Amino acid sequence: DAGVTQSPTHLIKTRGQHVTLRCSPISGHKSVSWYQQVLGQGPQFIFQYYEKEERGRGNFPDRFSARQFPNYSSELNVNALLLGDSALYLCASGRWAQYFGPGTRLTVT
């Protein structure tokens, strides 16, 4: 079985642009969580979705949004990118986020 997949692997954007990150959970998992990991720090919770509904939101501005599709894959959208949004974005599959994907490394210049 495939694990959690994320795309793209790496991304470079300019300040003010918009970005969409994608995640496919492990087959059969209905929950997806998103975390942001800034270099040198632990991951920070952004969103959790379960059965296509938002179950929780962390302390992130409204520039961050997400959604979950009927096949349980998910998108994370970030508008008006700031330099501080540069980070590794991790998607976790399943309840209690036990299985993490490889991440998308976003660099904002």
Partner 1 sequence: ELKVEQNPLFLSMQEGKNYTIYCNYSTTSDRLYWYRQDPGKSLESLFVLLSNGAVKQEGRLMASLDTKARLSTLHITAAVHDLSATYFCAVDDTNFGNEKLTFGTGTRLTIIP
Contact positions vs partner 1 (CB under 8 A)? 31, 33, 35, 41-45, 48, 50, 55-56, 58, 88, 90, 95-103
CA distance 45 to 13: 22
Task: Say which residues have a Cβ less than 8 Å from residue 87's Cβ, sequence separation at least 6.
Answer: 36, 37, 38, 39, 105, 106
Specify the residue, 104 or 108, whose C-beta has the smaller distance to partner 1. Answer: 104
58 three-state secondary structure:
coil
Closest distance of CB 57 from partner 1, Å: 9
CA distance 64 to 34: 11
Specify the residue, 16 or 56, whose C-beta has the smaller distance to partner 1. Answer: 56
Specify the residue, 17 or 57, whose C-beta has the smaller distance to partner 1. Answer: 57
Closest distance of CB 13 from partner 1, Å: 19
Closest distance of CB 55 from partner 1, Å: 4
Q: How far apart are the first and last CA of the chain?
A: 37
Give the residue carrying structure tokens 């790496």.
10
Closest distance of CB 20 from partner 1, Å: 19
